[in-house]
Structure 1
Amino acid sequence: MQPATIKLFLINGSPTGLRTAEISNWTGKAIAGPRSDLDDYLKRPELATPGVYFLSGVDADSGEPILYIGEAENVAKRLKQHAKTEQKDYWVHTSAFVSKDDNLTKAHIKYIEGKLIQQAHASKRVIVMNSASSGSSLPEADRAEMDVFIERMIQLLPVLGIHHFSKPAITNPSVKKTVQPDSPDTERTILYCKVKGLIASGTRSEDGFTVFKDSQAVEDIVKSCPAGTVKLRKALVEKGIISLQDGSYIFTEDYEFSSPSAAGAFISGRSTNGLTAWVTEDNRPLKDLKS
């Protein structure tokens, strides 16, 4: 992504309350806030215009992040309908994107919604409450313009607490580095977790710890294994991120955990101190590394 200057305005002074976010030289604007402040949120004049919105929270059963993506010609009116007529217990935070120059049409926002739903499903990092959407057909020039709009949205979303659209690191353990798309190469230390003759490799990442594709994890877990790990294993099997092969689980793609310890527990099937379980090729533990 391109470097950007973000302007964040805390409407009530709280960093987790109502806030707006903008990027310099961009026509879009984000308005975000907790559902507990929905009445004040809906009074924002920007939301009486076309836009795309996100209802986010956490799934009560699995503990995984959960997301609904929608579009409306009047965002405030649509959110009022959600609040009154739909049972969305997971919904704790709202984020909406509109245009400051009133240049978004119904076709534009349907195109944006469709693209974001596809990306959210493809990320496998969040439970998406929408089925896959084909969006709207646009002329080539409009598609290019909306694709840029989406890139800016994705750049802002982590600032608003939604991290599920960020591009994952491109990994190449053989040369011991990971590279973020659209940015210079970033050297990272590759770490290994070995248990019961199995081996997993990974590295620290922006939101925790990424375990690499082809890593192995034990099939059986101890009774005292954290409940969250048990639920996550089931979820990753269903998503096809891990598969059982010859008595162990194999990662079919890179997957980012919330911490080295969460990754270690998943690999070993028991509570694990990630700072000591993950070691370098020359057996130095993660806790001894500078970063």
Structure 2
Amino acid sequence: MQAATIKIFLVHGSPSGLRTAELSNWSGKAIAAPRTEISDLLKREELASPGFYLLTGVEPDSGERAIYIGEAENVANRLKGHATKDFWNAATVFVSKDENLTKAHIRYLEGILIEKANSNGAAIVMNSASSGARLPESDAAEMDVFLEKCLQLLPVLGIPDFNEKVDQASESKDLLYCKIKGLTATGKRTANGFIVFAGSQAVLEHRPSAKRMRDKREQLIEKGLLLEKDGHLVFVKDIEFGSPSTAGSVVRGGNTNGLTNWRNSQGIQLKEIEASET
């Protein structure tokens, strides 16, 4: 992504409250608010325009991050219809300041975002499906640029679920390893925590003392993200965790200090690596 200047306006002065975000030389605008300020968000005149929106929160059964992606020609009216959904605690809306977004444009953007969210796997996508929309080549190119700017703003607004995963091959010098009982997991520090790469191995059995980690591991197994193979578990895809310790605990079957159990190829602990960099 290109360097950019972001302008954030805190409508009520709170960094977690109603706020708007814009990029220099961009026709788009983001408006975000926690659910507790949804009434103020709905009063914004921008929301009477076509746009797409993201509802973010926690999936009740699993406790995992959850996201719903929608579009509407009048976003305010559409958001009112989500009052019965209990998982979300924040809404983020994207509109065009020059009012050039059409129904086809926002359906196209919605479809791509749902596909990206499902592919990334950082959050549970609450949408059932989206057909998206086909656009003329020139319009599609224009919307791809618009979407790139939206993706640049989303992490700043507290939505990291579309961040591109780290490429293991291109970052080989920074790889870390967690080993136990002849098994090896490979991972790396990320801006949001710690990623364990596909193909990594984990112990099959939980430790007797494991409680919270037992639930976490069982959720990953139920989702098919950890599969049993030859007496151990294997990561089917790259999975990002909130910390090195959570990642290490999933690998080792119980509570683990990730700062000491993740080591580089020379055997140096992550704790020592980070101490040498400060």
Shorter-chain TM range is over 0.9
How is 1:155-174 mapped onto 2 (pairs within 5 angstroms)?
Answer: 155-172=152-169
Following TM superposition, by how much is the alpha carbon of 1:244 offset from its aligned partner in structure 2, in angstroms?
Answer: 1.2
Contact 2:214 2:254 in 1 (8 A): no
Following TM superposition, by how much is the alpha carbon of 1:188 offset from its aligned partner in structure 2, in angstroms?
Answer: 5.0
How is 1:201-280 mapped onto 2 (pairs within 5 angstroms)?
Answer: 201-227=186-212, 229-280=213-264
Q: Which deviations, in whole Å up to 9, do the C-alpha atoms of 1:216-237 show, x marking residues without a partner?
A: 001110232242x333333333
- Determine the C-alpha separation between the residues in 2 that align with 1:271 and 1:34: 33
Relative to structure 1, is the Cα distance of residues 126 and 21 closer, same or farther in structure 2, using a 3 angstrom cutoff?
Answer: same
- Determine the C-alpha separation between the residues in 1 that align with 2:3 and 2:23: 10
**Aligned-pair RMSD on alpha carbons?**
1.5
- Determine the C-alpha separation between the residues in 2 that align with 1:90 and 1:138: 32
Following TM superposition, by how much is the alpha carbon of 1:238 offset from its aligned partner in structure 2, in angstroms?
Answer: 4.2
Letter of the 1:43 partner, please give it: K
Matched with 1:190 is 175
Letter of the 1:196 partner, please give it: K
Q: Which deviations, in whole Å up to 9, do the C-alpha atoms of 1:145-179 show, x marking residues without a partner?
A: 1111111111111111111111111112xxxx52x
Q: Secondary structure at the match of 1:17?
A: coil
Q: Which deviations, in whole Å up to 9, do the C-alpha atoms of 1:38-57 show, x marking residues without a partner?
A: 11111111111110011110
Residue 118 (1) aligns with residue 115 (2): yes
What is the aligned counterpart of 2:96 among 85, 90, 99? 99
Relative to structure 1, is the Cα distance of residues 142 and 238 closer, same or farther in structure 2, using a 3 angstrom cutoff?
Answer: farther
Q: Which deviations, in whole Å up to 9, do the C-alpha atoms of 1:260-289 show, x marking residues without a partner?
A: 000010000110111111112222211111
Q: Which deviations, in whole Å up to 9, do the C-alpha atoms of 1:99-148 show, x marking residues without a partner?
A: 00000011111111111111111111111111232201211111111111
Contact 2:22 2:29 in 1 (8 A): yes
TM-score, normalised by the number of residues in structure 1: 0.90
Following TM superposition, by how much is the alpha carbon of 1:26 offset from its aligned partner in structure 2, in angstroms?
Answer: 0.9
Unpaired segments ≥5 residues, structure 2? none
Q: Which deviations, in whole Å up to 9, do the C-alpha atoms of 1:5-48 show, x marking residues without a partner?
A: 11111111110000001111111100001000111111111111
